[in-house]
Amino acid sequence: MDKVAVILHGAHGVEVVKQLAKVTFGFGAGLFVLSKPTSAAAQTAVPEVGKLAFKQGKGFLVVPDLADVQELLSPSLSLFFVEGEKGEAFSEDEVLGALRQGYVAMFFSASEPGFSLKELERGRPVNLKLPGEVGCVATASIALFKVWSKIATADSS
């Protein structure tokens, strides 16, 4: 999971940033990125998450926009998680395959209505095909659990 990067885009609230950072690090992902934070997320959450990342030996990066993430990481796979009927089904098997080639970037939008069409062009929109909308922290939790479970199963066999 070291090569999994979780990117939260457009956050403005402190709690959503802190919660997603905890989920990211709790599942063993190596890097949490905050893209285009505004207001309290930029002022209060950044130092708190920086401290959390340092204590856990994890990476934390703040960038002005999504293009910076792709420029710095050059991920082998960029997945943009969307809710509703958009996007194709998320595949943890695809993530495992891409991890052998480099970083896998998992993008989550903290703002409504989500990513713009232009932003979605930077990767592939994917969906967990849940019965309803659950928000970015729950979506990331489910997606990271699926990847972590797949890796754990692969390592034990």
pLDDT confidence band for 157 (50 / 70 / 90): low
- Whole-structure pTM value: 0.95
Average pLDDT over all residues of the chain: 94
pLDDT at residue 84 tops 90: no
Q: Has residue 10 got a pLDDT over 80?
A: yes
* Largest pairwise CA distance in the chain: 47
Based on its alpha-carbon atoms, the radius of gyration of the chain, rounded to whole angstroms, reads: 14
Q: For the residues 7-32, what does the mean pLDDT come to?
A: 96
Q: In terms of DSSP H, where are the helices of the chain?
A: 14-26, 39-40, 46-56, 66-73, 92-99, 117-120, 136-156
- Condensed to tens digits (0 to 9), the pLDDT of residues 99-132 reads 999 999 999 999 888 899 999 999 999 999 999 8
Domain residue ranges in the chain: 4-156
The SS3 assignment for 56 reads helix
Candidate CATH numbers 3.40.190.10, 3.40.1280.10, 2.60.120.10, 3.90.25.10; the one for domain 4-156: 3.40.1280.10
| Residue indicated by tokens 């069409």 | 117
- How far is it, in rounded angstroms, from Cα 46 to Cα 114? 21
pLDDT tens-digit map of 42-71: 889 999 999 999 999 999 999 999 999 999
Q: Which of 100, 82, 115, 95 lies closest to 27 in space, CA to CA?
A: 95
